């Protein structure tokens, strides 16, 4: 007869084995050969020259910038306005497929839902499974090739790397940190540290694949915050051409399809979802300060904040341009998720309201001007009083 | 109990059939797709039954395994036969696993059948927006059922262990079901984020990854590993308890 305690051995041994397995699995696999030493310039050059045009991988993105999390359920969750804002809060996983310059597919994997952006040549599709809607845009036929065929003046990657470094050097210290492991690949860690003491950004680290030069991840750290304020990195990556069927997209039957008209000479705005950036560029913000301490100032009414009806130009009433003025229509229950978020995130400060995140501060003045910068509030206020 | 599970898809299908069109984005996911494609009844029914009905029934079956015999007073007669306690435990666990496999399968198949009877069946739209034929969709449906069966393995092992602790089957069932609920509650608390990957219910709802194109197998793999861990730990605990137990009834 075995003694009693012996019979409990498996119950002790199994958790121990599992714990050992987990521990050994979570240790960094640093056994591989260290990458050859390189200067920041060489790493930059490698990144600029990387020839990887085809890949499929899984991206993991997370943000800890101090914004309140948006509701993931309920009627406000699916609104299109909050979709991009939602990317700034909480973690996300996305699968990325690239094949050359003309074919790309990004799948943002939500729980029980998925958002897709597919580009196949000059066809551009967006699809959201949550509300079964699709949007289609036709890119100009030469959009894919235009960048490659620019005449003569294309600077070589070496030039770009040199110029980039020279430009950065005054305001930023560029170093190559210890190698990192990203998606199971050894990568150089290019660290940009702002020389300025004022800015909220502590450092920006770019992981560059040691074998191919492909950027594998970006991590932005904010001052006084342990976890990265923003990070995006591959968790899995294969540098093979994905199955071409992935890039064929036809909207499913029953989906609501919306056609997005594109301005003929503005294909760039459609390639990246930077409509907001393009709109801002059109309104010409003024910049004060240099480098990391730059403060952008948008004149009153230049930026139509979500949930705000565009101010009518013939009514020069500053109060009408103030996005945070309690607008009757907003108060009437039609407030969108973005406006609600803004209401929730903004705090009153002398002269206006402040939306503070760990990376960027946005000061919305009572006269409708908006100042934004990666600097503390005092800098924004100083910039506001300068003019 | 399988009949009770089979009633869920029937209920959903009839309710959707009788009511007007469901606006997209309301109610459980996929509910609005049912009217276009009957196969989604199976998916929706599985989605609805994952948080409570499946753990409930599996907990009842797994909690009943040993404690039920003890409660009826038949356990000692079973052990009189020269079969050995380990073998009895293994057979009992196999029975619980068989139910864990059958339960989601019944929900899926009854859902697909009632859906095909009440609604048109055609190409199925995946989460990625791609469409696949009905036969491949059936395959995906079975895959989801398999995923859920794997998901319930860990709970079955917990139920088996609970069942060896007590002679009162209701106690074992209740504690198993309560554990399943507690695990899901913990999973919903963002403050316990570090704990989430270790909860046996954490990947239960990730079966949606099987509805993407191409199929994302990561969650299937992680889930299988996790459930395997739970089976190993609680299987060993159940072994230790059952081998050393004084069987009086």
**pLDDT tens digit sequence for A143-194:** 544 444 444 455 566 676 677 777 777 778 888 888 888 888 888 888 888 8
- Residue B222, number of CB atoms within 10 A of its CB: 14
What pTM was estimated for this model as a whole? Answer: 0.80
CB contact under 8 A, B239 and A254: no
Whole-number pLDDT of residue A76: 44
CA distance A164 to A154: 15
Q: Average model confidence (pLDDT) for chain A?
A: 74
User: Tokens representing A65?
Assistant: 């910038």
Q: Which residues contact A136 (CB under 8 A, 6 or more apart)?
A: A123, A124, A125, A126, A251, A257, A258, A259, A260
Whole-number pLDDT of residue A35: 81
Q: How far is A296 from chain B (nearest CA, A)?
A: 35
Whether chain A has a CB inside 8 Å of the CB on B73: the answer is: no
The residue of chain B nearest to residue A105, with distances taken between CA atoms, is B128
Contacts of A120 in chain B (CB under 8 A): none
The residue of chain A nearest to residue B34, with distances taken between CA atoms, is A254
Average pLDDT over residues B185-214: 90
Whole-number pLDDT of residue A31: 52
Residue A226: pLDDT over 70: yes
Q: Average model confidence (pLDDT) for chain B?
A: 90
The minimal CB distance from A7 to the residues B47, B130, B243 is found for: B243
Task: Specify the higher pLDDT residue, A33 or A135.
Answer: A135
Whole-number pLDDT of residue B108: 95
Residue B48: pLDDT over 70: yes
Whether chain A has a CB inside 8 Å of the CB on B33: the answer is: yes
Residue A83: pLDDT over 70: no
Residue B77: pLDDT over 60: yes
Task: Specify the higher pLDDT residue, A325 or B187.
Answer: B187
Work out the percent of chain A whose per-residue pLDDT is above 90.
1
Whether chain A has a CB inside 8 Å of the CB on B187: the answer is: no
CB contact under 8 A, B129 and A14: no
The minimal CB distance from A11 to the residues B206, B209, B237 is found for: B237
Residue A316: pLDDT over 70: no
Whole-number pLDDT of residue B198: 92
DSSP string, chain B: -HHHHHHHHHHHHHHHHHS-PPPTTSSSTTGGGTTT-TTHHHHHHHHHHTTTHHHHHHHHHHHHHHHHHHHHT-HHHHHHSTT-HHHHHHHHHHHHHHHHHHHHHHHHHHHHHHHHHHS---PEEPTTS-EE-HHHHHHHHHHHHHHHHHHHHHHHHHHHHHHHH-S-HHHHHHHHHHHHHHHHHHHT-GGGTTTGGGSTTTTGGGGGGGGSSS---HHHHHHHHHHHHHHHHHHHHHHHHHHH-----
The answer to whether A59 and A94 have CB atoms below 8 angstroms apart is: yes
User: Tokens representing A150?
Assistant: 């620019």
Q: How far is B240 from chain A (nearest CA, A)?
A: 4
Q: What is the pLDDT of residues A231-244, one digit of tens each?
A: 888 888 888 888 88
Residue B53: pLDDT over 90: yes
- Residue A91, number of CB atoms within 10 A of its CB: 11
Whether chain B has a CB inside 8 Å of the CB on A18: the answer is: yes
Per-residue pLDDT band at B161 (split at 50, 70, 90): very high
The answer to whether A230 and A65 have CB atoms below 8 angstroms apart is: yes
CB contact under 8 A, A107 and B128: yes
Residue B224: pLDDT over 90: yes
CB contact under 8 A, A112 and B205: yes
- Could you tell me the residue ranges of all domains in chain B? 2-243
Contacts of B205 in chain A (CB under 8 A): 111-112
Whole-number pLDDT of residue B168: 92
Per-residue pLDDT band at B57 (split at 50, 70, 90): very high
CA distances from B66 to A7, A247, B57, B171 (A): 18, 54, 16, 12
Task: Specify the higher pLDDT residue, A83 or B230.
Answer: B230
The minimal CB distance from A15 to the residues B206, B233, B239 is found for: B233
CB contact under 8 A, B125 and A249: no
Residue A137: pLDDT over 80: yes
Per-residue pLDDT band at A33 (split at 50, 70, 90): low
The minimal CB distance from B131 to the residues A15, A116, A252 is found for: A252
Average pLDDT over residues B221-236: 94
Whole-number pLDDT of residue A371: 86
Whole-number pLDDT of residue B236: 94
């Amino acid at each position: 007869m075995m003694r009693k305690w012996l019979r409990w051995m498996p119950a002790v041994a199994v958790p121990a084995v599992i714990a050992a397995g987990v521990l050994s699995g979570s240790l960094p696999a640093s056994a591989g050969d260290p990458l050859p030493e390189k200067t920041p310039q060489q790493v930059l050059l490698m990144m600029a020259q990387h020839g990887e045009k085809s890949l499929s991988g899984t991206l993991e993105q997370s943000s800890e910038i101090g914004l309140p999390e948006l509701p993931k359920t309920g009627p406000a969750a699916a609104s299109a306005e909050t979709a991009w804002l939602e990317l700034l809060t909480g973690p996300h996983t996305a699968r990325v497929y690239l094949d050359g310059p003309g074919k790309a597919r990004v799948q943002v994997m939500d729980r029980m839902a998925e958002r897709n952006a597919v580009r196949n040549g000059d066809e551009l599709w967006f699809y959201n499974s949550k509300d079964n809607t699709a949007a289609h845009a036709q890119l100009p036929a030469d959009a894919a090739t235009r960048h490659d065929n620019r005449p003569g003046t294309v600077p070589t990657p070496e030039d770009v790397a040199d110029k980039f470094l020279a430009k950065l050097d005054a305001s930023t210290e560029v170093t190559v940190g210890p190698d990192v492991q990203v998606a199971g690949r050894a990568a150089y860690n290019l660290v940009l540290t702002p020389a300025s003491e004022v800015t909220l950004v502590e450092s920006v680290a770019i992981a560059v694949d040691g074998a191919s030069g492909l950027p594998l991840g970006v991590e932005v750290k904010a001052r006084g915050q342990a976890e990265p304020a923003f990070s995006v990195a591959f968790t899995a990556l294969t540098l093979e051409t994905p199955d071409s069927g992935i890039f064929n997209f036809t909207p499913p039957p029953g989906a609501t399809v919306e056609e997005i008209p594109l301005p003929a000479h503005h294909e760039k705005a459609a390639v990246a979802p930077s409509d907001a950036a393009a709109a801002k560029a059109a309104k010409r913000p003024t910049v004060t300060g240099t480098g990391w301490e730059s403060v952008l100032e948008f004149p009153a009414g230049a930026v139509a904040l979500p949930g705000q009806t565009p101010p009518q130009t013939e009514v020069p009433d500053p109060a009408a341009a103030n996005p945070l003025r309690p607008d009757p229509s907003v108060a009437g229950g039609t407030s969108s998720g973005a406006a609600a978020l803004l209401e929730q995130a903004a705090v009153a400060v002398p002269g206006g309201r402040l939306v503070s995140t760990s990376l960027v501060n946005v000061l919305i003045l009572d006269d409708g001007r908006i100042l934004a910068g990666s600097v503390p509030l005092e800098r924004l206020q100083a910039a506001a009083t300068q003019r | 109990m399988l009949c009770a599970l089979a009633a869920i898809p029937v209920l959903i299908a009839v309710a959707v059939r009788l009511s007007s069109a469901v606006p997209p984005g309301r109610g459980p996911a996929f509910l609005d797709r049912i009217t276009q494609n009957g196969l989604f009844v199976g998916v929706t029914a599985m989605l609805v039954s994952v948080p409570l009905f499946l753990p409930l029934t599996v907990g009842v079956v797994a909690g009943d395994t040993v404690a039920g015999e003890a409660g009826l007073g038949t356990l000692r007669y079973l052990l009189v036969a020269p079969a050995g306690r380990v073998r009895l435990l293994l057979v009992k666990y196999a029975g619980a696993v068989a139910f864990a496999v059958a339960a989601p399968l019944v929900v899926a198949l009854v859902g697909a059948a009632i859906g095909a009877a009440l609604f048109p069946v055609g190409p199925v739209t995946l989460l990625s927006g791609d469409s696949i034929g009905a036969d491949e969709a059936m395959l995906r449906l079975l895959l989801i059922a398999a995923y859920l069966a794997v998901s319930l393995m860990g709970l079955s092992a917990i139920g088996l262990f609970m069942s060896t602790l007590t002679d009162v089957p209701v106690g074992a069932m209740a504690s198993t079901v309560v554990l399943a609920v507690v695990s899901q509650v913990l999973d919903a608390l963002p403050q316990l984020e570090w704990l989430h990957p270790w909860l046996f219910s954490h990947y239960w709802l990730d079966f949606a990854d099987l509805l993407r194109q191409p199929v994302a197998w990561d969650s299937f793999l992680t889930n299988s590993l996790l459930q395997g861990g739970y089976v190993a730990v609680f299987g060993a605990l159940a072994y230790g308890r059952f081998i050393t137990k004084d069987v009086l009834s």
